[in-house]
Every structure is written in C-alpha cells, then in structure tokens.
Amino acid sequence: MQTPAIPDNEIERLQALIESGLFDNDIDTDFDRFTRLAQALFGCKISLLSLVDEKRQWFKSRLGITATETPRDVSFCAHAVFNDQLLYIPDASADQRFADNPLVTGAPAIRLYAGVPLHSVDGLPLGTLCIIDDIPRELNALQLTLLQDLASLAETEIARSTLARQAEQLQRDKKLVEQHRQRLAGFIESSRLATWEWNVQTGDAIFNERWAQMLGYDLYDLLPLSVDTWLKLVHPTDKAQSERLLQRHFNGEIPFYELECRMQHKDGHWVWILTQGKVISRTEQGLPRLMAGTHQDISERKASEAAITEAYSLLQQVCRNAGLDISGHDKR
C-alpha cells in the first residue's frame, strides 16, 4: 500500500485548516447540500466532504457511511491533497497504490474513487469532495467536470463560512479592544496623566487635552501640533539632557526615556514635568518611527525637595555656628 506523502506546505495548510474553523466542530448542514448532490448526480454509494489534518481525515459531511473519520495513512483523500488535483481511480482493487489498502480489502470496499481538493480562502488544500462506490466504474469527461464544478461550489461555501467566522472574531476583538481602550482612558483620566505620541521620522505629534492644561493652555491654542510644540516650551538648559537620553534610548542602551525637565506655563512661570516614553515601532531599517509616553506635573514634589534641601542647609549652618558636628548624621 502506498501511504500518502506530506505536502511541502503542510505547516501552512494545517494552520489554514485550523483558521477555517471547519474541523472537529458541530456538523454543519450547509455542507450536506454538496454530498447530497454528488450522490444524486453520480448514483454513488458514498459521498464525502472530508478534511485532512495531521493524522486523520474527518468527514465534515457524509452520506452512505457511518464512520466519521479514518486514519490519514489509509486515506485516499490525503493523496488528492498532496497532489492538489483531481484523483480519479476507476477500480482501486486493480491499482497497485491502493489494492492492499484496508479500505479496499475491507469495508467500505472502495472500488471507484473520485475526489477533488477543496481549498481555503488562501488557496491551500484542506480536504476533498469525493464520491465512492463498491463496484468498479468509469466516469466520462463530463461527469468529472461536473464533480469539479460541484467542488468549486463547495469551496465557495468554505470561503463564506470562514469569512463569516473571521468577521465574528473581528467583532469580538473590536469589542475587547474597545473595553481595553475605555479602561485605559479611565486610568489615564483618574491618574491625571498627560499623554503624547511622536512620529520621530516626520516630527508629527499628538498630545491630549491634559497635556495642554498642565501648562495653562487649551489644546486648540497650540495647533498645529508637532515636536516643535514641545521644544518651544521646554527650558533651554534641559534640551541637551533630553537629546542625550533620547539618543541612548534610540540606540537601545536604556529601555525607557525618562527626564525631569522644566516647561514654561502660559503665565510665564516654569512647571516641573516628569516625561517618560518608549519607542513602540521602528522602520525596516531599525530607526525609531513612533514613540509614546506620558507627562506628569511634579512641581509640588520639586518644591518639597527644594524646601527640604534649604531647611537642611539652614540646619547645617546653625550647627556649625553652635560648634556642633553633624557630619556623622549626613552619612547616615
């Protein structure tokens, strides 16, 4: 017995079979139309719509047989899948490839077999539409053409079923993404974080309303938005440090970009901002394309740090004037 060979595109083919959603699920009566028509057109004992996976063939629709599957190594349909073309055998008992096949020597005693590969929406063979009889039979050219035409119609149903399933999955994914988006928006709103996105290659930028409000603006006041919007507001002394940190992040030396910098408020005073970000996509050449991050107003923290520093400096001066040494406390 000749066992069916494995197609070169087997990995892709099996993945397409999984993605089709057709295999090992509930019987779909839509596919019974094709096996009924095949049996009626050709007067055959058995008609099958089979799907071939790694180790077996499973019957998506079947007429004239009680079995729901057979091992792949004895499957006629697996030969058709490998060659990806019509497999027509008038008498399997007289064909050296199949004469000693247990499906020939035993039930269902295959003699006539004619199977046409059925393809995924990507053109990969998934299984066959086939007719089987237990007596040798010759099929003329018109009959073989009709079987191929019927298989083409079955492929259309496969495509419809697959695309409908993918559309349902897309709707579920969109709903899940929207739920995540709402949760993220709620988190950002409650945290009072400002958000930004920067196209490093074009200079285009997106800021949320909170970003502008931190500096006393309405976002509309700052249009058109670009990286220059940020550069015009950041303290000149902090720009050089920002460029160094950005370059290190672009080069992969540090996982995130993080900078404490001063930005000018609409009223003229300086606001301390903690800016954090990360490259989230790169060009094919590996250059940074899109970067995203947050801004947080840390002016109060900076003011507290400055007050503590000033108070400690005053304490040191008082202690020195009193002849007290607090250097040991400094180290602790």
Q: Is residue 181's pLDDT more than 90?
A: no
The single residue listed with the structure tokens 């394309």 is 289
Domain end marker among 168, 201, 222:
168
Mean pLDDT of the chain: 89
Query: What is the mean predicted confidence (pLDDT) over 161-176?
Result: 85
For residue 285, being part of any structural domain is answered with yes
Q: For residue 298, how far is the Cα from the chain centroid?
A: 38
Shared domain for 44 and 136, answered yes or no, is yes
Query: What is the mean predicted confidence (pLDDT) over 64-73?
Result: 94
Shared domain for 15 and 128, answered yes or no, is yes
Shared domain for 136 and 102, answered yes or no, is yes
Judged by DSSP in three states, 205 sits in strand
Q: Is residue 190's pLDDT more than 60?
A: yes
Distance between CA atoms of residues 227 and 204, nearest Å: 6
Shared domain for 124 and 219, answered yes or no, is no
CATH number at residue 235: 3.30.450.20
Shared domain for 163 and 237, answered yes or no, is no
146 is in which domain, residue-wise? Answer: 10-168
Shared domain for 146 and 205, answered yes or no, is no
For residue 206, being part of any structural domain is answered with yes
Domain end marker among 133, 168, 203:
168
Distance between CA atoms of residues 202 and 289, nearest Å: 9
Residues 6+ apart with CB under 8 A from 49: 31, 34, 35, 59, 60, 61, 62, 118, 127, 128, 129, 154
Query: Where do the DSSP E strands lie in 268-319?
Result: 270-282, 288-297
The count of structural domains within the chain is 2
| First vs last C-alpha separation in the chain | 85
At 281 the pLDDT is 94
Going by pLDDT thresholds of 50, 70 and 90, the confidence category of residue 148 is very high
Distance between CA atoms of residues 158 and 222, nearest Å: 53
Q: Percent of the chain at pLDDT above 70? A: 92
Query: What is the mean predicted confidence (pLDDT) over 30-47?
Result: 94
At 114 the pLDDT is 97
Shared domain for 164 and 197, answered yes or no, is no
At 332 the pLDDT is 44
With CA atoms as reference, report the closest residue to 299 among 268, 260, 266: 260
Q: Is residue 65's pLDDT more than 80?
A: yes
At 101 the pLDDT is 95
For residue 226, being part of any structural domain is answered with yes
For residue 174, being part of any structural domain is answered with no
Query: What is the mean predicted confidence (pLDDT) over 71-100?
Result: 94
For residue 4, being part of any structural domain is answered with no
Q: Is residue 326's pLDDT more than 90?
A: no
Distance between CA atoms of residues 34 and 29, nearest Å: 10
For residue 188, being part of any structural domain is answered with no
Shared domain for 116 and 16, answered yes or no, is yes
Distance between CA atoms of residues 120 and 258, nearest Å: 49
For residue 322, being part of any structural domain is answered with no
At 170 the pLDDT is 86
Shared domain for 92 and 156, answered yes or no, is yes
Q: For residue 246, how far is the Cα from the chain centroid?
A: 30
Shared domain for 29 and 142, answered yes or no, is yes
Shared domain for 18 and 55, answered yes or no, is yes
pTM: 0.59
CATH number at residue 58: 3.30.450.40
Going by pLDDT thresholds of 50, 70 and 90, the confidence category of residue 178 is confident
Query: What is the mean predicted confidence (pLDDT) over 121-130?
Result: 94
Domain end marker among 99, 134, 168:
168
Q: Which residues pair with 278 in a beta bridge?
A: 292
CB neighbours of residue 266 within 10 Å: 14
At 331 the pLDDT is 45
Query: What is the mean predicted confidence (pLDDT) over 152-161?
Result: 92
Shared domain for 159 and 203, answered yes or no, is no
CA distances (Å), origin 39, targets 93, 109, 138, 185: 22, 17, 16, 58
Query: What is the mean predicted confidence (pLDDT) over 240-250?
Result: 95
